[in-house]
Structure 1
Amino acid sequence: MIRGVGLWAMVVLLAGVSILSGCAEEKGAATGKNGNVLHMTIDADPPTLDSAFALDGNSYNLLNNVMEGLMRLGKGNKPEPAMAENTPEVSADGRTYTFRIRENAEWSDGQPVRAQDFEYAWKRILNPETKSPAVFHLFPIENATAYVQGQISADEVGVKALDDRTLEVRLEESNPHFLELTATAPYLPVRQDKVEESGGKFGREADQGLYNGPFILSDWKHEQLLTLKKNDRYWDKEMVQLEEVRAHIVKKATDALGMYTSDEADVVPLNAVTFEAFRNSAELVTHQRGALVLIMLNTKEPPFNNKNIRKALNLAINRDQLVNELLKNGSRPAGGMVPPAIHSHQGESFRDKTEDYVEFDPAKAKKLLEKGLEEEQLSRMPDIVMSVNDDERRHLALFIQEELKNHLGVDVQISPQPVSQKVAVDAAGQFQMTIVRWIGSYDDPMAFLEIGTSVSPVNFGRWGNQQFDYLVHKAKGNPDPAWRETDLIQAEAVVAEDAGVAPLYYEAQAFIQKPHVKNLFRHPVGPEYSLKWARIEK
């Protein structure tokens, strides 16, 4: 059924692209005629630009281009000095970092970026009253966990502005990825006065924020358009070539493609059908992400508290068919929690050091479902409501709905929701089954496994396992990279055996991009792209 629909849509799409391409030729093909203005499309309105509450990819991507932390991901995907003028001084035990803020670092209103802006921003996230979903990212900092739990005061947290330009950070233990973390959204600076005068609206509108990155958000027409302009107060403004970026919010990939072929957009994402149309195009750009798309089940709500029922649902989904017949963009079936783009301590793919735990076995799934229903004293599986983003992922939800119906006789209702609404509902645990996309903040298996701990605020399904928690905690404090990796391999095996989540696929992304767009760098972890070095070549 899905394959047939895809082929018919393909015929329609190709006809439409031919017509649109013809129109573009009559107008004149895109050659950067708008000067240094980049037009792109994104699939959803970012819910917030407040780094304390940003969770989704679109918010992270926007923050990466209008804000800057102590470090930022460079062209080669390694952290390089940003608001910090150099790499920090690090103590002999690897636990104390001393950063020096650039003398010419400024906010978009002309005030200097100070060390106090980092201290305030980080402690604001850790403050129990903030209830930030990003809080666990800051747990490497000394006493961060104790402060979140209300055991100590903010003054005892290991981050302190020694003066306006000197920031001292003390860690619980040596962390080889800490510099990568300082390039992520939760570690961005925030001005206290701007937050306090916003009346709770900080990060919700273009004028309810301050910017210190390569661009400023000059206009935000919700659900329509985001306009970024070059930040003339940025410390490295000579490196920024684009004068303006217009991010059009377009939910359907076919609509985005129409903008591309009619010369209204320079770069747009492709879905399964549009990818097929451009498979052999010189303008096709593909990119492997350190990202996992998975199903979370609300384990606090029967019958998903039953391990056998969770395992049955997991076994009933044909992931090979999912990536080969539905996605068709280079994504790979998930064998565990950690994507192949994430490396081991020796530099090879972590997946090569472990095994694939996820399988497709409908017969076994039926037996486990029967066993689980008997344990729960149920005669049949109740209907399930599955939450999904109101975008291209609806097709994924339809596929899962069909799989569970065909192989287990389980009825699933699909509940598509706008991104901002779904993030809030998921965080509150108000769902039965939800499709989630998790992007690694840094290149390490911990970036994916730590979300499953019982204390993680993004463990929306509230799955808990003492052995898993112990292994992750032990790995965090282990200075030996080989032993640490052994613990993480075991932790992934535990979550697979207990079916704490249902990994679906490792994400690949595909774009169609005009030849005149140069140096738009895409990252495997953290934000998807950086516009700092991008340019339009006339």
Structure 2
Amino acid sequence: MLCYFAVLLSCGNSANKKSAHKKEQVIAASLGAEPSILDAAKASDRYSFVVLDYINENLTNIETADDATLTVLPGIAETWEHNSDYTEWVFHLRQALWSDGKKITADHFVYSIKRIINKESASPMAMYYDYIKNADAILKGEKDYTELGITAIDENTLKITTEYPIKNLDEFAAKIPPQRKDIVEKFPDSYGSDAEKIICSGAFKVKEWIHNSKIELIKNENFWNAKNVKLKSLTFKIIRGENAAIGELLNGSIDIARAYTISWIDKLKSQNRFTEISGVDSRVRYVFMNQKDKLFSNRKIRQAVSASLNRDEICKDLFDNIYKPAYGFVALSTKLDNQNYRSLAGEPIKKLLENVGDPKAHFIKGMQELGLGTDPSQVTISIMFPSNESSKFDEYLQSSLTQTLGVNVVLDKVESTVFKKRNRSLEYQIGFKSWAGGVENPSRYLDLFLPGNRIVPTGWENDEYTRLVLTAKKSADPAVQLENYKRAEELLLVEDCCIAPYANQTYNIFVQPNLKNVRQFYLGTYNLKYAYIE
């Protein structure tokens, strides 16, 4: 690592060679993996949504200050209002154009949501729009999607009717993009898969997509706020691994990058070359377990796996105390009624640790219930993980399960696209990934395990859990919400132990000093829409 760093430092002068290039308002950023698809109705991975944030303009926009204060800003909706009980919202659209010059209308938002809330299309993100009236019934096939509670009153007016009161629907609207039926139907099976198969409403449009290499965006001159977009070009380079990304930051090939390890964070800080953006993320890392697999169909087996994770040790040894131990699934930064949810709900995994006691003895009890005897060394567990994972958690998990439970462990490293496919088809035993709720509400985490989830299928459903989460979401009483969310999280993490969270991410983003006005969408998600080179 030190030798590599020294080589990179010697390349620092190359950044000066790029100064003329920089004055042209052309920048580059890193992307850790290839986006699966640039179609808001089908995307579910973080890399796709990073790019979609620049090529789509939603009804509203979100901006988060360094002190975590979240502000809802106008997007294509210029103004909006709601009725007295927050179940009907009307959005008034500004005069805005698509990248090909055609007008954006309310019907484009209706079409977009009906593509997502559609039993046939089965969008992986459908559950995050279940607040819209009749959405759940449509997904269950009980009602036709034409009955969805979103309508175009006229070209410039959109009405959304909800199943229950939502006081911050304007915030949720920051996840509602328009889509063009004529373009989507022109490419029915491949919309969003290549540059020429995408229409854009955002600050940028896709000029070129060289798969597994880069996505070049250029300024969308037809964007409603184009006069305030200074950048001519924003290129996302597909760079796998922290060393490679930081190397490109140091030699001036990219303008912004995240550092994950303390060695790089300390080195970048010590140079005093870069602007730093840092804080506690809304992203939680967790292990998930396939309950359709014979071994992991047993709750004692799952509980033993979770209890075998030393979360303090993980954050100290793997993440150099940058990340914070996770003893709940809802992130440390999440709020409920303007109070910190974790402070209110406690740490359910500590209850699991107390209940389990000796993880190996607990595991053996699970084996006996399955008729697998009492010798863990006869058991082999396969850990599936994506090839772009760089944290070494795969090795830690292998060692931890082997030493603590006495089982054999094999590592199953696969490409990210294969990882997603096998996850959805339940072709795995256990795996690990992360999730950021985005919206400051516990439901954005707990929704992930409601029936019909296609983001992280585990084969688990629990009627009581579903009732608890839905009751909390439909209530306007913070006390009722807390009671139900807290109980649901206990079911998820303790009693049924569907997943095993282990770390709350923090973020350290380093920016070239001449790149100004870098903002954040949500904490840890940088926003370059209105950035510029000074």
Partner residue, 2:444:
447
Conserved 8 A contact 1:271-1:392: no
Q: CA RMSD in A?
A: 2.0
| Alpha-carbon separation, structure 2, partners of 1:14 and 1:393 | 18
**Which consecutive residues of structure 1, in runs of 5 or more, have no partner in the other structure?**
1-12
Residues 496-520 of structure 1, C-alpha deviations (whole Å, 9 max, x = no match): 2221111121111223321112222
Runs of 4+ off more than 4 Å:
29-33, 359-363
| Alpha-carbon separation, structure 2, partners of 1:274 and 1:32 | 28
Partner residue, 1:274:
264
User: SS at the partner of 1:471?
Assistant: helix
Given candidates 312, 325, 332, the residue that maps to 2:317 is: 325
Residues 66-114 of structure 1, C-alpha deviations (whole Å, 9 max, x = no match): 101111113543221101111x1211221111111112x1110110111
Residues 3-50 of structure 1, C-alpha deviations (whole Å, 9 max, x = no match): xxxxxxxxxx22222232123237638757522111211110111111
Conserved 8 A contact 1:337-1:503: yes
| Alpha-carbon separation, structure 1, partners of 2:71 and 2:235 | 27
| Alpha-carbon separation, structure 2, partners of 1:358 and 1:280 | 37
> For structure 1, which segment, 142-151 or 172-181, has the greater mean C-alpha deviation from structure 2 after superposition?
172-181
Partner residue, 1:24:
12
**Partner amino acid, structure 1, of 2:75:** A
**Partner amino acid, structure 1, of 2:434:** R
| Alpha-carbon separation, structure 2, partners of 1:405 and 1:394 | 19
User: SS at the partner of 2:411?
Assistant: strand
Q: How does 1:255-334 map to 2 (within 5 A)?
A: 255-272=244-261, 273-282=263-272, 283=274, 284-328=276-320, 330-334=322-326
Q: How does 1:488-503 map to 2 (within 5 A)?
A: 488-498=485-495, 499-503=497-501
Given candidates 461, 465, 482, the residue that maps to 1:464 is: 461
User: SS at the partner of 2:305?
Assistant: helix
**Partner amino acid, structure 2, of 1:182:** A
**Residue 278 (structure 1) shift:** 2.9
**Partner amino acid, structure 1, of 2:470:** H
| Alpha-carbon separation, structure 1, partners of 2:19 and 2:332 | 37
| Alpha-carbon separation, structure 1, partners of 2:194 and 2:168 | 32
Partner residue, 1:9:
none
Partner residue, 2:421:
424
**Residue 393 (structure 1) shift:** 4.0
Partner residue, 1:95:
87
Conserved 8 A contact 2:345-2:482: no
Conserved 8 A contact 1:454-1:462: no
Partner residue, 2:221:
232
- TM-score, normalised to structure 2's length? 0.93
Q: How does 1:18-417 map to 2 (within 5 A)?
A: 18-25=6-13, 28=16, 33-35=21-23, 36-74=25-63, 76=65, 77-86=70-79, 88-103=80-95, 105-184=96-175, 187-272=176-261, 273-282=263-272, 283=274, 284-328=276-320, 330-345=322-337, 347-359=338-350, 364-379=358-373, 380-381=375-376, 382-393=379-390, 395-417=392-414
Conserved 8 A contact 1:39-1:247: yes
Given candidates 457, 467, 470, the residue that maps to 1:473 is: 470
User: SS at the partner of 1:476?
Assistant: helix
| Alpha-carbon separation, structure 1, partners of 2:339 and 2:304 | 32
| Alpha-carbon separation, structure 2, partners of 1:318 and 1:29 | 48
**Residue 142 (structure 1) shift:** 0.5
> For structure 1, which segment, 310-319 or 22-31, has the greater mean C-alpha deviation from structure 2 after superposition?
22-31
User: SS at the partner of 2:399?
Assistant: helix
**Which consecutive residues of structure 2, in runs of 5 or more, have no partner in the other structure?**
none
| Alpha-carbon separation, structure 1, partners of 2:251 and 2:456 | 43
**Residue 281 (structure 1) shift:** 4.6
| Alpha-carbon separation, structure 2, partners of 1:78 and 1:427 | 34
| Alpha-carbon separation, structure 2, partners of 1:424 and 1:47 | 11
Q: 1:136 to 1:95 in 2, by over 3 A?
A: same
> For structure 1, which segment, 487-496 or 109-118, has the greater mean C-alpha deviation from structure 2 after superposition?
487-496
Conserved 8 A contact 2:384-2:411: yes
Conserved 8 A contact 1:275-1:329: no
| Alpha-carbon separation, structure 1, partners of 2:515 and 2:264 | 20
| Alpha-carbon separation, structure 2, partners of 1:431 and 1:107 | 42
Residues 449-490 of structure 1, C-alpha deviations (whole Å, 9 max, x = no match): 111223433351122222222211111211212221221122
**Residue 349 (structure 1) shift:** 1.8
| Alpha-carbon separation, structure 2, partners of 1:14 and 1:444 | 42
Residues 107-140 of structure 1, C-alpha deviations (whole Å, 9 max, x = no match): 1011011111111111111111101111101110
**Residue 429 (structure 1) shift:** 2.0
Conserved 8 A contact 1:476-1:484: yes
> For structure 1, which segment, 285-294 or 470-479, has the greater mean C-alpha deviation from structure 2 after superposition?
285-294
Conserved 8 A contact 2:131-2:164: yes
> For structure 1, which segment, 388-397 or 171-180, has the greater mean C-alpha deviation from structure 2 after superposition?
388-397
Conserved 8 A contact 1:518-1:535: yes
| Alpha-carbon separation, structure 1, partners of 2:348 and 2:20 | 48
- TM-score, normalised to structure 1's length? 0.92
Conserved 8 A contact 1:181-1:441: no
User: SS at the partner of 2:392?
Assistant: helix
| Alpha-carbon separation, structure 2, partners of 1:513 and 1:236 | 24
User: SS at the partner of 2:207?
Assistant: strand
Partner residue, 1:6:
none
Q: 1:178 to 1:32 in 2, by over 3 A?
A: farther
**Residue 279 (structure 1) shift:** 4.9
| Alpha-carbon separation, structure 1, partners of 2:348 and 2:486 | 11
User: SS at the partner of 1:403?
Assistant: helix
Conserved 8 A contact 2:15-2:253: no
Conserved 8 A contact 1:329-1:508: no
